[in-house]
Amino acid sequence: MVLWELFITFMKIGFMSFGGGYAMIPIIQHEVEQHEWMTTEHFAQSVATAGMAPGPIATNTATIIGYQADGILGAVISTIGIVLPSLIIVLIISSFFYKIVQSKAVHTTFYGLRPIVTGLIVYAAIHFGFSDRTQQLFSWQVLFTLLIAAGVFIVVHKYKWHPLATIVLSALVGIAIFS
């Protein structure tokens, strides 16, 4: 029963989600909480772990949740469930891609999805950035976290630093400040 629920849930998420893995996190969180597969704190830790692992964060998160819910088979079933919709959609779209690529409706649809995706990503960043319920919204940890985030934005946007360099530097700064 759990395997079927994992498969259907992640297949539904895979079909409903646009904008990449980070935009899918709030949807995954809702389903995880509804099925009570893990606590909110454990989910936040799972997303952090999934973000550090190579590969798409949504797929990694589904794999971790599946493993938590029903072991290795749960991990495999969850992964298949979240990946299968993308595979199906890509196969369908690629079969007539050249016919629709110039369509005004396609362009306006994707343009209309941008604010939704941005909102979901901002929600995930705020929610997981401040997931520790004991942390005050106005504290020195939050101030330094925001300063690191602003610094990363500036060096990537203005100075065109490679994102990997900012990740490594941010990790070192975080270790130095927060440990």
Q: Pull the structure tokens for residue 3.
A: 């395997």
Mean pLDDT, 10 residues at a time, over the chain (179 residues)?
A: 96 84 89 94 92 92 97 97 92 79 81 86 75 64 84 92 89 87
Distance CA 54, CA 33 (A): 25
Per-residue pLDDT at 130 = 66
Per-residue pLDDT at 136 = 64
Q: Counting runs of H as helices and runs of E as strands, what totals does the chain give?
A: 8, 0
Give the rounded distance of the alpha carbon of 63 from its chain centre.
Answer: 13
What are the CB-based long-range contacts (under 8 Å, 24+) for 26-35?
26/120, 26/123, 26/124, 26/127, 27/120, 28/58, 28/61, 28/62, 28/65, 29/127, 32/65, 35/5, 35/9, 35/69
Phi/psi region, residue 19 (left: phi>0; alpha: psi -120 to 50; beta: rest), is left
Distance CA 177, CA 170 (A): 10
One-letter-per-residue 3-state SS of 152-173:
HHHHHHCCCCCHHHHHHHHHHH
Q: Against a cut of 0.75, is the pTM above it?
A: no
